[in-house]
Structure formats: C-alpha cells, structure tokens
Homo-oligomer: A and B are copies of this chain.
Amino acid sequence: MKLATLRNGRPDGRLVVVSRDLQQAVPADAITPHLLQALADWPDAAPRLAQLSDRLNAGQVPDATPFVPADCMAPLPRCFQWCDGSAFLNHGRLMERAFGTAPIPQFDTVPVMYQGAADDFLGPCEDVPLPDEALGIDFEGEFGVIVGPVPMGVTPAAALGAVRLLVQLNDWSLRALGPREMQSGFGFLQAKPSTSFAPVAVTPDELGPHWQDGRVHLELEVHWNGEAFGHPHGAEMNFHFGELIAHAARTRRLSAGTLIGSGTVSNAGRAVGSTCIAERRVIEMLEQGAPRTGFMRFGDRVRMRARMAPGDQAPFGVIDQRVVQAAPVAEVADRTARP
C-alpha cells in the first residue's frame, strides 16, 4: 500500500491511502489519525489500511478524490528518531576529497551514520527556507526505511523484518558548515536543515523485485532547474538497510517510527551523474583541476524521483521544491506557532 499525509493544520497531518498509480486518495482517519500513530499500532492498523488500499486500487471506494501532491506534508511529518547512514561508499570517498578530511576508520566494514533532526520534515512541494546562499546549499537524494520497534543488539538479518515502509528523501545540506562540524567530532547539526520527502511512503511489496537484499533497486533521477543532473542506481548500496538498522540499534532500542536513511545515492560509474552538487564539484576538481558548478541559489528548484519500469512510474511520487530565503525572525516566529 501507499500512504501520504495531507496538511490539516496539525503537526502530524491527516493520513490518506493513495492508489498505486498515485491518482486517487481516500482518508484513513477512521482507522488511525496519522502515520506516527499507525506505526505505533502497526499490527492492528496495517491490515485495515491494506484492506482500504485494496478496495481503492480495485476502484471500489466511491468517495476517493484526486491525489494532489502539493497538498502533502512529508508522509511522516515528524518522528522521534532519524538516523542517516552513508552506505554508498563511492559518495563517502568523494566527499573525503571534497572536504579534505582524514580517512574514516573502518570505512569499508562499519557504517557511518549521523543523528538527524526529526521534529520538522518538509513535504514534496513545500518551499525550503534557508538563511543564506553563502552557506553552500546542496541537495542529497536518498532512499530510507521506517521501522517498527527494534530491540538493542538486533542482527542485520532480523532488522530487515522490522522495515514497515520505504521512502525517498532529500537530505538538504549546507556545505559551508559541514567541515567545521565534522572537525569538531560532534557531527552534523547546522549543516543539516529540515529533510524533505517524496509524497508517498510505500510498503516494501509495492516495489516488487525492486526491493531486494535490503536495498531499493531503482534509479534515483535528479533534475536541477529543469536540467538532468544524475540518475544513479540504489543497488550499489554497500551496506544494506538491515545493516544500517542494526548499527543504529547496537547500544539502544529503536522505537516504532524511527527513520533510517541510505545516505546519498551514488555510483562508481560517472556517466550516471550524481544526486548532490558536492559530488559533481569534487569530480570536476579531479577531472578538470577545479570545481566549476556552484551551489544552489534562492529561487532554484530541484526535482527528484525514483524510476520504475514499465511506463516509467515514480513509485514514491516526485519531490519538486524551490529554495527560498528564510523570512526575518519576527515573521518566522508566527509560522512556528503551531496550532
């Protein structure tokens, strides 16, 4: 099944079930108010949501309405934990050169992962407010999984059984702030503003053979201001999602609704391009002696979608966002007064 969250003035939004072709939606309020609650009650809620999904896909829900991604929040607008790995080692190796940082110990054998902010995710078509172009505004295309409860010390194989939903996301990054935060050893904080999500979260079965070995076997296609930027494949992920979940759970249990990210999708073959600007810049540096591509400017748009044959469907829908200058503080203060 496919799930999305519509804005309703509340921080968790209103859960809807979306048809497989992303054309129709039907409210799921009668089953559970929002996705965070559904994840807490998954054994009870999931079968009922699946039943509604089956009826919707069979054309048996008379009150279904058109699905409008512009009305969407992130499918999970906030949660209690967001851990982002860096499981495409090609990306990590390039970023080491970009930042000029020391090699990461045990890079090939132990995943690296940072703890992200989970309190305020952005929807697929929402503007992305940031304070200053000089911070080096960059996108990072990723896949992610949302899990049920995970015990401390889980094995990678068992961890895969905790996967409830798959998502596609943009891990917004501010490159001018990254190196200092890495050098401090405390990790990313200001360098990682609110993360954005494609409109629908999907159960693994929706991807058929494209969910395999704990990886999303799909290309992630990125356009920047309408120009093709890259379309690397998710199959090249060096650590699978079970390994990432087990890494996060080594010294603590994870509660239902925890989100785990793949890190920037990146392939060794350079012909497929990149899903972040920093990677292209370091490749330019290596191949041409200096970076030629700048970071994003206010007004720029980025569009991301996974591609699934046949018919070139986007199983998670499309992220299509514009970067804008954040409002002055007084004005922002009103926006944060959540109803």
Contact = CB atoms under 8 A, between A and B. Distances in A.
A256 B338 contact: yes
Contacts of A101: 185
Copies in the complex: 2
Contacts of A255: 11, 78, 119-120, 336, 338
A193 B333 contact: no
A194 interface: yes
Given A81-B119, A131-B153, A190-B247, 14 more contacts: A86-B186, A99-B185, A104-B184, A115-B115, A119-B254, A119-B258, A129-B152, A130-B251, A131-B152, A153-B329, A186-B188, A253-B332, A253-B336, A256-B338
A118 interface: yes
A291 interface: no
Interface of A: 11, 40, 78-81, 83, 86, 99, 101-102, 104-106, 110, 112-120, 129-131, 135, 149-155, 158, 174, 177, 180-191, 193-194, 247-248, 250-258, 326, 328-329, 332-333, 335-338
A62 B257 CA distance: 40
Given A152-B129, A153-B329, A193-B251, A338 B40 contact: yes
Given A114-B187, A117-B252, A186-B188, A332 B152 contact: yes
Contacts of A86: 186
22 contacts: A11-B255, A78-B80, A79-B80, A80-B120, A86-B186, A105-B180, A110-B180, A113-B186, A114-B115, A115-B116, A115-B117, A117-B252, A118-B118, A119-B258, A120-B254, A131-B153, A151-B332, A153-B328, A181-B185, A186-B187, A189-B247, A255-B338
Contacts of A120: 80, 252-255
Nearest to A250: B190
Nearest to A10: B40
Contacts of A183: 102, 104-105, 185
Contacts of A135: 251
A149 to B, nearest CB: 4
Contacts of A257: 119
A149 B337 contact: yes
A152 to B, nearest CB: 5
